[in-house]
């Protein structure tokens, strides 16, 4: 059975304190791994897509990486506006089916 | 403005009273999907549609129905709602189908449903 596990569940950082969020997955055939950001009371917002091991994507203070078993979302010198819940999702087969992890809630204190 | 709209945004109903949550997108996307989000369980896929007249089950389809008669609309139907369907529901759309349905997936604002 396909499964996605995110850790930690919650993370508190001081502004400027870099860290990483983990997304471990078990799927029969990975078609894509996706990262989303969700602010309270809103729908998730797409951040990155990763398709193959070794791939990396960057956007401002965020960098996503992918191995054969897990993905990391690295946050460099975070700011309070980076506070949100970060969701990881994988797509295997059938192609339209998506499985989400439970998310990591990040709080960045000034 | 490119967007996914859902109606209603908030709904309180009683057990057994049929309801429909509408979802519409104005981006000509082929792929649409419904999710429910519950504390501690995360986001779970209910149904998805790869294109008009093509729908398939996600992880938690029991108690729900969908239809895709037009490209822009993907309503979620609860024919006999029960309290365990109390949840936050999200509709989403994407221009990709095979291999990248999760990429650039646009989510609606959510519908908060309470079934008494």
pLDDT in tens, A3-14: 999 999 999 999
Distance CA(B80)–CA(B15), nearest Å, equals 7
Q: What is the pLDDT of residue B40?
A: 85
Beta-carbon contacts below 8 Å between A and B: 84
Interface contact B105, partner A, CB < 8 A: yes
Read out DSSP for A18-53?
Answer: -EEEEEEEE-SS--EEEEEEE-TTS--EEEEEE-ST
Interface contact A29, partner B, CB < 8 A: no
What tens-digit pLDDT sequence spans chain A (110 residues)? Answer: 889 999 999 999 999 999 999 999 998 888 889 999 999 989 999 999 998 999 999 999 999 999 999 999 999 999 999 999 999 999 877 878 889 999 999 999 99
Could you say which of B31, B33, B42 has the minimum Cβ distance to residue A102? Answer: B42
- Secondary structure tally for chain A: helices H, strands E: 0, 11
Q: What is the pLDDT of residue B100?
A: 53
Higher local confidence (pLDDT), B102 or B95: B95
Q: Supply the mean pLDDT for chain B.
A: 92
Could you say which of A94, A100, A101 has the minimum Cβ distance to residue B56? Answer: A94
* pLDDT tier, B102 (very low <50, low <70, confident <90, very high otherwise): low
- Secondary structure tally for chain B: helices H, strands E: 0, 11
Instruction: Kindly report, residue by residue over B17-28, the tens digit of the pLDDT.
Output: 999 999 999 999
Q: With the CA atoms of B53, B58, B63 and B69 taken in that order, what torsion angle do they form, in degrees rounded to the nearest 10?
A: -10
The residue in chain B having the minimum alpha-carbon distance to the alpha carbon of residue A49 is B103
Cβ–Cβ under 8 Å, residues A25 and A4: yes
> Which residues in B lie closer than 8 A to residue A35 (C-beta atoms)?
none
Distance CA(B55)–CA(A35), nearest Å, equals 24
């Amino acid at each position: 059975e396909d499964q996605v596990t995110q850790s930690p569940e919650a993370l508190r950082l001081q502004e400027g304190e870099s860290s990483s969020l983990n997304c471990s997955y078990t799927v029969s055939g990975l078609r894509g791994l996706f990262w989303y950001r969700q602010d309270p009371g809103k729908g998730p917002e797409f951040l990155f897509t990763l398709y193959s091991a070794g791939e990396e994507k960057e956007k401002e203070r965020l960098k996503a990486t992918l191995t054969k078993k897990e993905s990391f979302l690295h946050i460099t010198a975070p700011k309070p506006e980076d506070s949100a819940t970060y969701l990881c999702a994988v797509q295997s087969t059938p192609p339209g089916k998506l499985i989400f992890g439970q998310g990591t809630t990040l709080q960045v204190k000034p | 403005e490119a967007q996914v709209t859902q109606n209603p945004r908030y709904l309180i109903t009683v057990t057994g009273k049929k309801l429909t949550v509408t979802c519409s997108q104005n981006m000509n996307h082929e792929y649409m999907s419904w999710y429910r989000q519950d504390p501690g369980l995360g986001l779970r896929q209910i149904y998805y549609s790869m294109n008009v007249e093509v729908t398939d089950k996600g992880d938690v389809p029991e108690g729900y129905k969908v239809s895709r008669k037009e490209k822009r609309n993907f309503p979620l139907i609860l024919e006999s709602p029960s309290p365990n369907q109390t949840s936050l529901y999200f509709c989403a759309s994407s221009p990709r189908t095979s291999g990248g349905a999760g990429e650039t997936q646009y989510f609606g604002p959510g519908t908060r449903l309470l079934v008494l």
